[in-house]
Amino acid sequence: MRYLNIIAILWILNSCSTPNSKTANDETPMDSVTVEQAILTEPTLESDMASEQEIEEELPVTFDSTGRPSRPVFKNVQVDTSELFGIWTVDPTGPHADFVLSKEGYYVVDSDGGGTVPFILDGKTLTLFNEEFKQDLEILSTKNDSLRTYIKEYDYEATYTRWKN
């Protein structure tokens, strides 16, 4: 086996150093590529203001054994989703947002890259399905670039500010 490894290494070294191989200077120049920085934008009224019927028609929803839906579910919505959907933070002077809420799902900005998770928006109750737990939040207000929520289970009210980069 050691003999095959040595032969493979010698073959690779030899193929890389043959006089007929081109170097970077010998090759024709490549077209230049412009890289633009992606800019997160706030959801727009038209793109994120989807009716319950439009969403229901897109994909059928399924639920797993824990009640977690396969995609976001909207029932009897009593909040303006154009004001609810967005990028939110507890500390507007901080270096990053805390979460993103859109018609595609709920995404927590964290280091583990857990991805977007589904939610249920029923009336004014937002049910979030994280990997470890389910949490119900009552949406108190979505006005003036702020989101006020209440978690009955912990008797906790939180205010988030729309994050602007």
User: What residue spans define the domains of the chain?
Assistant: 45-162
Instruction: Give the torsion through C-alpha atoms of 62, 82, 98, 104, to 10 deg.
Output: 30
CA 150, 155, 160: angle at the middle one, nearest 5? 35
Q: Lowest mean pLDDT of 38-47, 51-60, 153-162, name the range.
A: 38-47
Give tens-digit pLDDT for 77-87: 999 999 999 99
Out of 22-26, 119-123, 127-131, give the one with best mean pLDDT: 119-123
Q: What is the mean pLDDT of residues 10-32?
A: 45
Strands in 105-108's sheet, in edge-to-edge order, are 73-75, 119-122, 125-129, 134-141, 146-151, 156-162, 86-89, 99-102, 105-108
Q: How do beta strands 119-122 and 73-75 pair?
A: parallel
| pTM across the whole model | 0.61
